[in-house]
Structure 1
Amino acid sequence: MKVGYIADDLTGSNATAVLLKKLGLQTATVMNGATIPQTLHFDVIGMDLDCRYMHEDIVEKRVREAITELQYWGTELIANRIDSTMRGRIGFITDLLLDAAGKNGIAVISPAFPDSGRKVIGGYLLLHDELLENTSLNRDPMNPVNQSYVPNIVQSQSKNLVAHIGLHEIRLGEENVKKIFQEKIENGCKIIIVDAITNEDIQIVARGMATMNYNCFPVDPGPLTFEFIRAKYFNHNPKINYIFSIGSVSDLTKKQLAYVLEKEQNCEYIYLDPIKLLNPSKAQSIIENAINKAIKQFARKNIFIISTTHPSEANVDLREIAQEQNVSQELIAKKLTTAIANVTTQLILLDPSSVGGVICCGGDVTASLCNFVSADAIKLIEEVESLIAYGELVNGKLDRLPIITKGGLIGNKTTLHQCLRYLQSINTKGIIANES
Structure 2
Amino acid sequence: MRAAGWSTDRPLLGVVADDLTGACDLAGGVAHAGLTTSVTLGVPTEPIPADVDCAVVALKSRTNDPAEAVRDSLAAARALGDAGVRYVYQKYCSTFDSTDRGNIGPVADALVDLLGPDAISLGTPATPQVGRTQYLGHLFVNGQLLSESSLRDHPLTPMTDANLVRVLGRQTTRPVGLVDHSVVRRGAAAIAAAVKASVGAAGEHIDAGRRHLLVDAVEDADLDRLAEAIGLLDVPVVLGGGAGLAVAVARSMAGAGEQGAEELPSIEAGPRLIISGSGSERTRAQVAAFRGKVITLDPLALAGDGSGVERLARDLAEAVHADGTAGAPPTVLVSATAAPSDVRRAQKELGVDRAAALVEDALAQLAVRAVEDLGVRRMIVAGGETSGAVAAALGVKTVRIGALAAPGVPWTYATVRDRPMALLLKSGNFGGPDLFDTAWQVAP
TM-score (norm 2): 0.51
Q: Write the distance in 2 (CA, Å) between the matches of 1:39 and 1:8.
A: 20
Shift of 1:35: 2.6
Match for residue 220 of structure 1?
Answer: 241
Q: Write the distance in 2 (CA, Å) between the matches of 1:6 and 1:148.
A: 24
Q: Are the aligned partners of 1:210 and 1:228 in contact in 2 as well (CA < 8 Å)?
A: no
Return closer, same or farther for 1:38/1:166 CA change in 2, 3 Å cut-off: closer
Q: Write the distance in 2 (CA, Å) between the matches of 1:32 and 1:229.
A: 23
Q: Write the distance in 1 (CA, Å) between the matches of 2:250 and 2:18.
A: 21
Match for residue 81 of structure 2?
Answer: 71
* 2:31 equivalent to 1:21: yes
Segments of structure 2 that go 5 or more residues without pairing to the other structure are 1-9, 201-207, 257-402, 408-444
- Cα deviation, 1:299-326, whole Å, max 9, x if unaligned, reads xxxxxxxxxxxxxxxxxxxxxxxxxxxx
TM alignment of 1:149-164, pairs within 5 A: 149-164=163-178
Match for residue 212 of structure 2?
Answer: 191
Aligned residues: 240
Match for residue 62 of structure 1?
Answer: 72
Q: Are the aligned partners of 1:95 and 1:159 in contact in 2 as well (CA < 8 Å)?
A: no
Return closer, same or farther for 1:234/1:135 CA change in 2, 3 Å cut-off: closer
Return closer, same or farther for 1:204/1:212 CA change in 2, 3 Å cut-off: same
- Residue aligned with 1:96, SS: helix
The amino acid of 1:143's aligned partner reads T
TM alignment of 1:50-129, pairs within 5 A: 50-88=60-98, 89-129=103-143
Shift of 1:42: 2.3
With a CA cutoff of 8 Å and minimum separation of 6, indicate the structure with the bigger relative contact order.
2
- Residue aligned with 2:234, SS: coil
Q: Write the distance in 1 (CA, Å) between the matches of 2:246 and 2:135.
A: 19
Larger Rg: 1
Shift of 1:38: 5.8
- Residue aligned with 2:121, SS: strand
- Residue aligned with 2:122, SS: strand
CA RMSD of aligned residues (A): 2.4
Shift of 1:143: 1.1
Q: Are the aligned partners of 1:218 and 1:228 in contact in 2 as well (CA < 8 Å)?
A: no
- Cα deviation, 1:42-84, whole Å, max 9, x if unaligned, reads 2221111101110112112211211221122222221011101
Q: Write the distance in 2 (CA, Å) between the matches of 1:225 and 1:217.
A: 12
TM alignment of 1:361-372, pairs within 5 A: none
TM alignment of 1:23-422, pairs within 5 A: 23-36=33-46, 41-88=51-98, 89-186=103-200, 187-231=208-252, 233=253
Q: Percent identity?
A: 22
Which of the residues 1, 16, 19 maps onto 1:6? 16
Segments of structure 1 that go 5 or more residues without pairing to the other structure are 237-381, 387-436
Q: Write the distance in 1 (CA, Å) between the matches of 2:181 and 2:72.
A: 35
Return closer, same or farther for 1:210/1:35 CA change in 2, 3 Å cut-off: same
- Cα deviation, 1:97-156, whole Å, max 9, x if unaligned, reads 101111342211211111111111111101011111211111111111110001011111
Match for residue 246 of structure 1?
Answer: none
Return closer, same or farther for 1:235/1:133 CA change in 2, 3 Å cut-off: closer
Q: Write the distance in 1 (CA, Å) between the matches of 2:32 and 2:126.
A: 19
Q: Are the aligned partners of 2:175 and 2:212 in contact in 1 as well (CA < 8 Å)?
A: yes
Return closer, same or farther for 1:38/1:141 CA change in 2, 3 Å cut-off: closer
Q: Are the aligned partners of 2:35 and 2:250 in contact in 1 as well (CA < 8 Å)?
A: no
TM-score (norm 1): 0.52
Q: Write the distance in 2 (CA, Å) between the matches of 1:158 and 1:212.
A: 24
- Cα deviation, 1:355-375, whole Å, max 9, x if unaligned, reads xxxxxxxxxxxxxxxxxxxxx
Shift of 1:6: 0.5
Match for residue 322 of structure 2?
Answer: none
Q: Write the distance in 2 (CA, Å) between the matches of 1:40 and 1:77.
A: 15
